[in-house]
A and B are shown apart, each in its own frame.
Chain A
Amino acid sequence: MIPALVEHLIQAAYLLATGLFVLSLKWLSHPSTARRGVFAGVFGMGAAIVGTLLFPEIVDYTWILVAFVIGTIIGVPLSRVPLTAVPQRTALSHAFGGLAVGLVGTAKYILWLHQPGELTRFRVVAIVLEVLLGFLTFTGSLMAAGKLQEILPTRPITYRNQNLVSLLLLAIALIAGGLLVRDPTAWQFFPVIVVLSLLFGVMLVLPIGGADMPTVISLLNGYAGLAAVAMGFVLENKLLITAGALDGSSGVILSIIMCKAMNRSFTNVLFGAFGQVQTAAAAGEQGTYKGATPEDAALILESAAKVVIVPGYGMAVSQAQHRVREIYDLLTQKGVDVKFAIHPVAGRMPGHMNVLLAEADVPYDRLVEMDEINSDMPQVDVVLVIGANDVVNPAARSDQNSPIYGMPIIDADKAKACLAIKRSKNPGFAGIDNQLYFLDNTLMVFGDAKQVCQGIVGALKGEGGGMH
């Protein structure tokens, strides 16, 4: 009777956790309720862990406690990274998630191999999928984290027949999986699947450049979720299936949004080797720039009525977000209407710019999505582009030969004037010349984003006169 009661308690805890996870994501839909969502998630996870610890099969709590302590020791510092490092932190956690799932799958296979009758066909199918998804997420995410942290080269690494080699690896892994399903005791296929999944993860991310990172991180997020679903099927645990499916659908939705924002397909991102195409197109004709100083920029900005700031990865790299907020503050005090235009793929992960600007205390109702701001563009006096390039390149609308043709952009060129802060005269990340810089009403301010913004802030303060 007691064991039956415990079983009910465990399942009730899992049911509670499932409900709380759904609420958690529902509350995340709006900034005003979002923090409640985190608490729901924490309580859900707490219920799930307590429920699991009740299992009568657990006879030894030592290692569980040791692992809890280790996880907390690693986890707390990982949550305190600077917000510019959030993309690599996210990639690293996808790697941890993939590793955990892969290891559980491996351990389950080893256990069941010694218990006749446990390795049913269905279980082997689920284990193969679990191990495959888990380990490819593990190495793929480690590669992504390495590239984002710039431990690995951020440029796409490509070689001849790359896609063929990658697909061949995957095909062999799937064939080995098929053979294992046919004969679950043929254990020698198991290490083959593990090694090939690890390799495939590396190969998958090797040709991906920095500009495609938002898509790849989203995709890996989805894989991590699906891996948890596969684990749920192995362990016959509906909580795992639900939580994994929620994570998986978030990854898929974000990937679709990212792909749409670049007008590219999944296969194009994964197998397109973005870096290769551009070099040819970059050799177009050169125009002439019109340069300006930060002081000129300040003058132009304060005489405007409507200003739109377009931030990009350059702002994150030089940590300029706090200076940008000062510009926002000073202009707002002078009665200028300032908004921020956020392109979905600006930065290195979905929503990256929003978090950085929120950190710098920019109110979130000033952050406007691309589709919303574009209709207002002709009425905008000055657009200030800070470290963004491809997302404001008008070639995406007009030049059919451009590699980014068809990508939705922020129409900075339609504003009455444009100021662009840019580190150097080299073409941007994708190696494409930006026609925006050569337009008559565009002024270029060359230099590090943070220093230029500092200069603009200084000039704005100086012009204020009676403000001191």
Chain B
Amino acid sequence: MNAVDLWSMLFVFMLATFLGFEVIRNVSRLLHTPLMSLTNAISAIAVVGSILLAGERHDPLTTVLGTIAVAASMTNIVSGFLITDRMLKMFKKKESPRTGRAEQKP
């Protein structure tokens, strides 16, 4: 790796950090629990590196380590996105279905 590659990675890191701060600062406090489960699923992007290890067939040890890493990341991806959506479905503004129906009764 040459110096330019290193610096371009540092650029990406710095910009992504500032962007992250700006975007996440605007997340409503209501949604801090879903925020954490969503970022948790996103940081399971470690799956990318794990897949390469599990599939490149170097030696049994790295394949085993890679496979465990893929399984752990996949667990986070599946459970993280599913539970975030499950929680977000619960946030409703008004109980219109329930009270609405009650009011329509004569």
User: Could you list which residues of chain A lie within 8 angstroms of chain B, going by C-beta atoms?
Assistant: 17, 21-22, 24-26, 28-32, 34-35, 37-38, 41-42, 44-45, 48-49, 52-53, 55, 57-61, 63-64, 66-68, 70-72, 74-76, 78-81, 83, 86, 89-90, 93-94, 96-97, 99-101, 103-104, 106-108, 110-111, 120, 122-123, 217-218, 221, 224-225, 227-229, 231-254, 257, 342, 344, 349-352, 354-355, 358-359, 361, 363-365, 367, 369
Whether A246 touches B42, Cβ cut-off 8 Å, given contacts A75-B78, A342-B29, is yes
B31 CB contacts on chain A under 8 angstroms: 28-29, 31, 34, 351, 354
Which of A26, A35, A67 is the one whose CB lies under 8 Å from B85? A35
User: Could you list which residues of chain B lie within 8 angstroms of chain A, going by C-beta atoms?
Assistant: 1, 5-6, 8-9, 12-13, 16-17, 19-21, 23-58, 61-63, 65-95, 98
Nearest CB in chain B: distance from A232 CB, A: 7
A24 CB contacts on chain B under 8 angstroms: 38, 42
- Please list 28 pairs of residues, one from A and one from B, whose beta carbons are closer than 8 Å in the complex, sorted by A's number: A17-B45, A21-B42, A28-B38, A31-B93, A57-B52, A63-B54, A75-B77, A78-B78, A86-B37, A93-B37, A100-B46, A100-B50, A100-B76, A104-B50, A104-B66, A106-B65, A232-B13, A239-B48, A246-B43, A247-B40, A250-B24, A254-B35, A351-B29, A351-B32, A354-B29, A355-B33, A363-B95, A365-B94
Whether A66 touches B75, Cβ cut-off 8 Å, given contacts A22-B19, A246-B39, A344-B29, is no
Whether A111 touches B79, Cβ cut-off 8 Å, given contacts A97-B44, A245-B16, is no
Look across to chain A and name the residue whose beta carbon is closest to the beta carbon of B74.
A71
The A-B contact count (CB < 8 A) is 370
| Residue pair A363, B45 in contact (C-beta under 8 Å) | no
Most buried by A among B27, B72, B84: B72
Which of B5, B34, B55, B58 is the one whose CB lies under 8 Å from A236? B5
Instruction: Report the bound CA distance from A231 to B34 in whole Å.
Output: 25
Interface of A is mostly: helix
| Residue pair A351, B72 in contact (C-beta under 8 Å) | no
| Residue pair A96, B75 in contact (C-beta under 8 Å) | yes
Look across to chain B and name the residue whose beta carbon is closest to the beta carbon of A134.
B46
Whether A99 touches B68, Cβ cut-off 8 Å, given contacts A22-B23, A89-B83, A247-B40, is yes
| Residue pair B30, A367 in contact (C-beta under 8 Å) | yes
A60 CB contacts on chain B under 8 angstroms: 55-57
| Residue pair B30, A86 in contact (C-beta under 8 Å) | no
B87 CB contacts on chain A under 8 angstroms: 83, 86, 355, 358-359
B35 CB contacts on chain A under 8 angstroms: 25, 28, 250, 254, 350-351
Nearest CB in chain B: distance from A55 CB, A: 6
Instruction: Report the bound CA distance from A227 to B45 in whole Å.
Output: 11
